[in-house]
Amino acid sequence: MVEVMRELLEKGADVDAEDGKGRSALTVALAFGQEAAARALLEAGAGMNAGTGQRPVHAAAEKGMVEMVRELVDKGAEVDAEDGEGRTALTVALAFGQEGAARALLEAGAGVNAGTGQRPLHAAARKGMEEMVRELVGKGAEVDAEDGEGRTALTVALVFGQEAAARALLEARAGVNAGTGQRPLHAAAKKGMEEMVRELVEKSAEVDAEDGEGRTALTVALAFGQEGAARALLEAGAGVNAGTGRRPLHAAAERGMVVMVRELVEKSAEVDAEDVRGR
């Protein structure tokens, strides 16, 4: 098909014309891993930054095409340009676990805090790329920056059960109470990461802080049947009646956690308190 494409170009096809998604032919070739076609388009003068949709360098980064990423940057691709989701090529590379492409972009000067969407550090944390997390922090990544949901990279790491990445962030002094969205403690409680719950509390995580639904980490742990995490929170002094949303006792009752219901009542949980629906 490369020869057909060359013939079309010789007949005057617009090399940088966009498809319905705002992508140039170069971006499409890279998005499908078609390196030979991409090189033919480059030889025909395809624009490094053409297209109002996904850019060529983002497509190459997503596919982990390290040499192509380097070549595009050498030819003038804007290393920190954003895609339609506000992500830079570095974030895209990390979001798809393409460490080689990410390193090539970092060598080219990609900004570790660039992008109005997901940040590179959040993407690396989500994928559990511990060494990349350390490298990004070492290069000045804002450890407590929030994503579009108000979550820090530490919270994201815990949401996806990436304990090693979470520990790397804690070593980098990530805030245990940072973020205007879900808190790290709530994320660890939901995943049943008992030891991480204990560590966060030891580092001064607010044990009765509420999430966006008015729930404490104890309520969240019980709502997801995480008894170990719930016990760790109770040992840390979590309030059995805390929270302006759903209460711990209601969550334990709904999950049928009989032993935990008895324990909460013994610790003075208000047995006739109503939940947010008046139940």
Kindly state whether residues 52 and 135 are assigned to the same domain. no
Confidence of residue 10 (pLDDT cuts 50, 70, 90): confident
Confidence of residue 41 (pLDDT cuts 50, 70, 90): very high
At 273 the pLDDT is 74
At 15 the pLDDT is 87
The residue out of 163, 179, 195 marking a domain boundary is 179
Q: Is residue 168 part of a domain?
A: yes
Alpha-carbon Rg for the chain in angstroms: 24
Distant-in-sequence contacts of 196-204, Cβ < 8 A, 24+ apart: 196/158, 196/163, 196/166, 197/221, 197/229, 197/232, 197/233, 197/236, 198/232, 198/236, 199/170, 200/176, 201/232, 201/233, 201/236, 203/170, 203/176, 204/176, 204/177
Residue 100 sits at φ, ψ, to 5 deg, of -60, -45
**Span 211-220, pLDDT tens digits:** 999 999 999 9
Kindly state whether residues 76 and 9 are assigned to the same domain. yes
The residue out of 161, 179, 197 marking a domain boundary is 179
Confidence of residue 274 (pLDDT cuts 50, 70, 90): low
pLDDT of 56 above 60: yes
pLDDT of 203 above 70: yes
Q: Is residue 92 part of a domain?
A: no
User: Rounded to two decimals, what is the model's pTM?
Assistant: 0.93
Q: Which domain holds residue 25?
A: 1-87+97-109
Kindly state whether residues 259 and 203 are assigned to the same domain. yes
pLDDT of 89 above 70: yes
Provide the number of structural domains found in the chain: 3
Residue 200 three-state SS: helix
Q: What percent of the chain has pLDDT over 90?
A: 88
**Span 104-114, pLDDT tens digits:** 999 999 999 99
* Integer Cα distance of 132 and 229 in angstroms: 28
